[in-house]
């Protein structure tokens, strides 16, 4: 998909953590962007981006949108996240499954050229510490959120085979970076937002120091999604995102080294519901994609030197 041809991309969940970063990147790449979210748009819209307030399950609203606009590509990020999905499984099913199905159907009817789905590494479920998961491993999700991701991946592949929709899925790890606004995983932003603090602060990580967690910076996720959107034709319909497996104790010590005013409190939990290591060679090899190591990104934010 060539942005020079005034390509229009619909981003669902465009006001979310990943969505905001992706929308900015697409604008820089000169795509015409339509962002839809249940969060109210910013007071002043940016040039090249139309922000809509709406729900992807609002059939009338979505049908009118597709009738009004010629949409060339979709990046589907809208979802009820794991904690809220456990609290309200009915709402999670409506949004994560029914909403995705309706969006795929509208894409089919409207001739959308590329459909990029923001999936999750939680589709693999809990894995032993030394297991490196690849796209060839069986999925074994342990909650509604991960199960819905698997369902939509399979639904997308069915639409790809039956209707020719160019559907591709990116399985994403724990996303970190400033501005996540997460109430349940505040550390994902806290490790970046607190590094320049000139007063004592505490950051809580729920995991044991010996655990490994798969993390990826939000801007790298946006670049990967944009890569899948713009590629002439991805060789596969499914990719593990390029992530970094980080030992929690090492992350703690690096944050405290860069800013001695910070204290990282560990919770002692095991990593469940997600793998600890991932094979991302399919994506990295096909697209020659590299990320900046997380510790280097942290050091840059802190104003220090990367190790």
pLDDT tens by residue, 83-139: 999 999 999 999 999 999 999 999 999 999 999 999 999 999 999 999 999 999 999
Given this model, what pLDDT does residue 127 score?
A: 95
Pairing mode, strands 212-217 and 244-247? antiparallel
> pLDDT value at position 5?
63
For residues 262-286, give the mean pLDDT: 97
The tens digit of pLDDT for each residue in 177-210 reads 999 888 778 999 999 999 989 999 999 999 999 9
C-alpha dihedral sign at 181, 273, 237, 245: positive
pLDDT surpasses 70 at 225: yes
What CA dihedral angle connects 13, 86, 135 and 246, to 10 degrees? 90
- What pLDDT, on the 0 to 100 scale, is given for residue 43? 62
Residues 173/122, Cβ–Cβ less than 8 Å: no
What pTM was computed for the model? 0.95
Residue ranges, comma separated, of all CATH 3.90.25 domains in the chain are 175-214+243-275+286-302
| pLDDT at residue 182 in the model | 80
Using the predicted structure, report yes or no on whether residue 28 has a pLDDT greater than 90: yes
Work out the pLDDT band at 307, boundaries 50, 70, 90: very low
What integer is the mean pLDDT of 54-80?
Answer: 96
Interval 44-63 mean pLDDT: 88
3-state secondary structure of 171: strand
pLDDT at 305 over 90: no
* Domain 3-173+218-240 in this protein, CATH class: alpha beta
Local structure of 240: helix, strand or coil: strand
The three-point CA angle 168-170-176 to 5° equals 155
Given a cut of 70, whether residue 306 has pLDDT beyond it is no
Question: Can you read off the two tokens belonging to residue 231?
Answer: 């590629």
Burial 165-190 (b: 16+ CB within 10 A, else e): bbbbbbbbbbbbbbebeeeebebbbb
Give the chain's end-to-end CA distance (angstroms, integer). 38
Confidence category of residue 152, pLDDT binned at 50, 70, 90: very high
Structure confidence at residue 161 as a pLDDT band (50, 70, 90): very high
Using alpha carbons, select from 187, 177, 214 the residue that is nearest to residue 17: 177
Structure letter (DSSP) for residue 96: I
What is the share, in percent, of the chain residues with pLDDT greater than 90?
90
User: Is the CB of residue 200 less than 8 Å from the CB of residue 213?
Assistant: no
Higher confidence at residue 249 or residue 304? 249
> Which of 47-56, 154-163, 170-179, 224-233 has the least mean pLDDT?
47-56
pLDDT in the model for residue 45: 59
Does residue 54 surpass a pLDDT of 50? yes
Question: Residue 10: helix, strand or coil by DSSP?
Answer: strand
- Of 132 and 2, more confident: 132
Domain 175-214+243-275+286-302 class? alpha beta
pLDDT value of position 210: 97
Mean pLDDT within 254-280? 96
Task: Return d(Cα 190, Cα 176) in angstroms, integer.
Answer: 9
CA trace torsion 292, 293, 296, 300 (10° rounding): 40
Residues of the chain within CATH 3.40.50.720 domain(s) are 3-173+218-240
Q: Does residue 154 register a pLDDT over 70?
A: yes
């Amino acid at each position: 998909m060539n942005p020079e041809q005034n390509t229009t991309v619909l981003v669902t969940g465009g006001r979310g953590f990943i969505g905001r970063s992706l929308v900015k990147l697409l604008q820089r790449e000169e795509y015409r962007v339509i962002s839809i979210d249940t969060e109210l748009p910013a007071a002043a819209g940016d040039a090249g981006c139309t922000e809509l307030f709406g729900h992807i399950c609002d059939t009338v609203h979505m049908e009118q949108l597709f009738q009004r606009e010629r949409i060339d590509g979709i990046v589907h990020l809208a979802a009820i996240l794991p904690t809220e999905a456990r609290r309200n499984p009915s709402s999670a099913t409506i949004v994560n499954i029914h909403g995705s199905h309706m969006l795929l159907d509208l894409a089919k009817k409207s001739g959308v050229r590329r459909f990029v789905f923001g999936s999750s590494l939680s589709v693999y479920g809990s894995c032993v510490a030394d297991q490196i998961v690849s796209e060839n491993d069986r999925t074994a999700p342990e909650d509604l959120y991960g199960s819905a991701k698997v369902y939509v991946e399979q639904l997308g592949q069915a639409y790809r085979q039956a209707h020719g929709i160019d559907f591709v899925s990116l399985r994403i790890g724990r996303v970190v970076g400033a501005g996540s606004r997460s109430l349940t995983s505040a550390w994902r932003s806290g490790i970046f937002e607190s590094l320049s603090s000139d007063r004592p602060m505490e950051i809580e990580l729920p995991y044991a120091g010996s655990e490994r967690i798969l993390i990826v910076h939000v801007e790298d996720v946006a670049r990967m999604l944009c890569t899948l959107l713009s590629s002439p034709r991805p060789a596969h319909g499914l990719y593990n995102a390029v992530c970094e497996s980080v030992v929690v104790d090492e992350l703690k010590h690096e944050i405290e080294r860069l800013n001695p005013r910070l204290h990282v409190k560990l919770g002692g939990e095991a990593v469940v519901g997600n793998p600890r290591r991932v094979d991302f060679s399919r994506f990295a090899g096909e697209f020659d994609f590299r990320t900046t190591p997380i510790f280097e990104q942290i050091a840059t934010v802190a104003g220090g030197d990367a190790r």
